[in-house]
Amino acid sequence: MSALLKVDDVAKTFGGVHAVDGVSFEVDGPSVLGLIGPNGSGKTTLLSIVAGTYAPTRGQVTLESTVVSGRGAHRTVHAGIVRTFQTTRLLGTWTLRESMQLASNEGHPGARSARSIDDIAGLLHLSALLDQRGRGLTSAQQRMAMIAVALSTAPKVLLLDEPAVGMDLNEALALAQAIRRVRDELRVAVIVVDHNMHFLMPLAEHVLVMAAGRVLATGTPLEIRANQEVIASYLGA
Ligand SMILES: Nc1ncnc2c1ncn2[C@@H]1O[C@H](COP(=O)(O)OP(=O)(O)O)[C@@H](O)[C@H]1O
Ligand SMILES: [Mg+2]
């Protein structure tokens, strides 16, 4: 069986800066892949390529053997890859339910993760907040709400860029549990960028370490923790 998601030698340059410089990896099915690396190592740019926000300068991304890269974010969402929105603008004046309804119209109705708004909200423990306006939520609730909005598009692949930033340990652990339910119950493949190793290492089955736009190492969290090169360049810093 071919990979669910295949990232094949993708690169992206901005002027003379090689933000991402030949990254390849595969995701086979519902799972959590952790993506770590120092600031400026290309993590966000890589997610932007996979999400269709940027066309790669080289290489391609395929979802279930169909090339999805270079088609723009909107068509990539329709194909089944979604990232969390970086701003909370969408959620500000609308209720969470309204934002989720809008997102579900943008999404991929045939996807195996398609669920009702109430089911998704229940899975993320947001049912009591469905009819509240975004701006009334705490920042941790807003981050969870953004994941609910993204899941309303019924993705096969969910990309989360630093979802635990600003969360305390209990909030981060609740988020990790929610991500596990998304993987196991919605059968979504999740790629998570985060600097908080207490959050990410117990959550991820595989970890990909980036440095200067390239893959420095891949492995299980245990292998990555034991990798001297990773410790020197990142974990020990
Ligand atoms: N839109 C952009 N224009 C120019 N340079 C960019 C842009 N986005 C990112 N970069 C550069 O690309 C490199 C990788 O950035 P980024 O992907 O944001 O890294 P990370 O998310 O790992 O911190 C950095 O040198 C950054 O300055
Ligand atoms: Mg980033």
State the pTM of this model: 0.94
- Domain containing 201 equals 5-235
Instruction: Tell me which residue has its CA closest to atom 26 in ligand 1.
Output: 40
CA distances from residue 155 to 73, 96, 107, 111, 182 in whole angstroms, order as listed:
13, 18, 7, 7, 11
How many angstroms separate the CA atoms of 187 and 198, rounded? 24
Any ligand 1 atom below 6 A from CB of 37: yes
Q: Mean per-residue pLDDT for 208-237?
A: 86
Any ligand 1 atom below 6 A from CB of 30: no
**Quick one: pLDDT band at residue 233, thresholds 50, 70, 90?**
confident
Which residues in 69-90 are b (16+ Cβ under 10 Å) and which e?
beeeeeebbbbbbbbbeeebeb
Q: Mean per-residue pLDDT for 151-165?
A: 94
* Ligand 1 pocket mutation, candidates 13, 14, 18, 41, criterion most atoms within 8 A of CB: 14
Instruction: Tell me which residue has its CA closest to atom 8 in ligand 1.
Output: 45
How many domains is the chain built from? 1
Decide if 143 contacts 161 (C-beta within 8 A): no
Q: Mean per-residue pLDDT for 114-134?
A: 92
How many angstroms separate the CA atoms of 100 and 220, rounded? 34
- Across all residues in the chain, what is the average pLDDT? 91
With a pLDDT cut of 90, the percent of the chain lying above it is: 75
* Confidence check: pLDDT of 56 > 60: yes
Reported as a single tens digit per residue, the pLDDT across 187-197 is 999 999 998 99
Q: Which ligand is nearest to the CA of 19?
A: 1
Tell me the CATH number at 185: 3.40.50.300
E strand intervals along the chain: 5-14, 17-27, 31-36, 58-63, 66-67, 81-83, 157-161, 189-193, 206-211, 214-219
Q: Mean per-residue pLDDT for 136-156?
A: 92
- Phi, psi (degrees; rounded to nearest 5) at 109: -65, -25
**Quick one: pLDDT band at residue 90, thresholds 50, 70, 90?**
low
